[in-house]
Amino acid sequence: MKRRIIVTSALAGALVFSGGGASVLAHDEIGGGVEKGDNLAGVELAVPLIEGSKNTGNLKEVAAVPLKEIREGVKNSTGDVYAHKGFAYLGTHRANGGAGGVRVFDLKDPTNPVEVSAFADIPGTWQEKVIVKSVNTKSFKGDLAAVSVQKMDQYDPNSKGGVVLYDVTNPREPKKLGFWESSSSGARGTHELYLTEQGDNLYVLTADCYADYYSHGKKRDVSIVDVSNPTNPNTIFEFNPRDYISEVTAENYDGYNWTDKEGVKRVAFAHSVKTDETGKTAFLSYWDLGTIILDISDAKKPVYLGRTDFASNVQGAAHSMDLAKGGTVLVETREVFGPTREGFESAYGYTMIYDIKDKTKPKLLSTFRTDFTETIPNGATVHDPKVHGNTLYLSHYSGGVRTVDITDPASPRQTGVYIPSRANIWGVFVDRNYILASDIGSGLKVLQKNGGQSSPAVEF
């Protein structure tokens, strides 16, 4: 079936982020970008429209459920998605004043998800990221949710950003346990985070964009917080790249602006954090500093191992990552909305795949780029990656969800595409035989593999 994709002139005008000169990045707040979710405010989305079917490639939509209005007349937008023990947890974004909290959906029947509760709906903030795990420490046993909290107004003295912790052992009745404050003045709070176990110890790693820059070095972008007792979270480490990476010094890095060893002016701030399954290796997505790899076997004294790097003509923008092949392969997504920047290749953000058997020397194996370019401006850059077995799942905003066969990481091959009408896909998550997708404007989407072969290129 030929798929017809329509881009309205109004949308195209609203979503072109660069017209030459320096790039404008969605998460590059200091560089003049806008926060994702805000960039479509007031725009009547009309891309992409698919004739005849929502199903493309080998993916089939089996459910599409909007968020409830937890306050009358207020429609919240959707952030990231996570699943645990048959429940989906959706963070929420900034639309209409934020305070949308985390929404919990019962997936007993994945074709009919039912929203059963909401929590962490803190006035004056938004709750984009949530991680849920079953944990067992001396102080807490059960299912724990760690939620990022960012201030709507970063200069509001009455608003606090950071991490809020909830007991979701009964997902229908979440109970607040504790709060950790990201106290950098001017920064919004915790943007992304990860919850990980290390023996009897439980840690949250935080990415607090621009904390270093706004605090003039008094606070750091990445913290390791001991939450073994979730009612009393305690910071045990803050990462200062100047102390660990020889290419980063007080002279060439101010917490945001960085000049690399080749004299190229770049941007460096922590955007995302994650660990491997053991909780002993951390991966910090640090924009133009690439993905920084730390040994955190001793979480109070991490050891720097290495980082990914970019050619001098490649915009960095390391946004997030996931692991494949038992942790020996790193998938790095780079978010670039502004493809035109003097001295750099003309390219929207794409995926890079590295061999990290030797974590001190990541080796680039391949890159994966979609068939969308400026024709769908808000779908041209990749966003988040998730790996399940030999399949890589990628969210692409208006470009929907892509599935990629990485059986051979040196030769990735697209196998599926899902692009609903008015798509704005933020995150993906694999749950049993289903793929969950969070759509910023329309809530939770549940997809199922449909069989079939590699998807054809999109015809324009």
pLDDT digits (tens, 9 = 90+) for 160-196: 999 999 999 999 999 999 999 998 888 999 999 999 9
pLDDT at 2 > cutoff 50: no
pLDDT at 18 > cutoff 90: no
pLDDT at 44 > cutoff 50: no
φ, ψ of residue 287 in degrees (nearest 5): 55, -120
The residue extents of the domains of the chain are 9-18+38-313+433-449
Q: Taking residues 15-39, what's their average pLDDT?
A: 48
CA torsion, points 228, 230, 236, 241, in degrees to nearest 10? Answer: 110
Token pair, residue 79, equals 């952030």
Give the helix ranges, DSSP H, for 146-290.
Answer: 211-214, 241-244
Q: What is the mean pLDDT of the chain?
A: 87
Percentage of the residues of the chain whose pLDDT score is greater than 90? 74
d(Cα 288, Cα 304) in Å, to the nearest integer?
17
pLDDT tens-digit map of 231-263: 999 999 999 999 999 999 999 999 999 999 999
- Least confident span in 288-297, 378-387, 445-454: 445-454
d(Cα 29, Cα 63) in Å, to the nearest integer?
34
Say which CATH class 9-18+38-313+433-449 falls into: mainly beta
d(Cα 295, Cα 298) in Å, to the nearest integer?
8
What pLDDT sits at residue 29?
A: 76
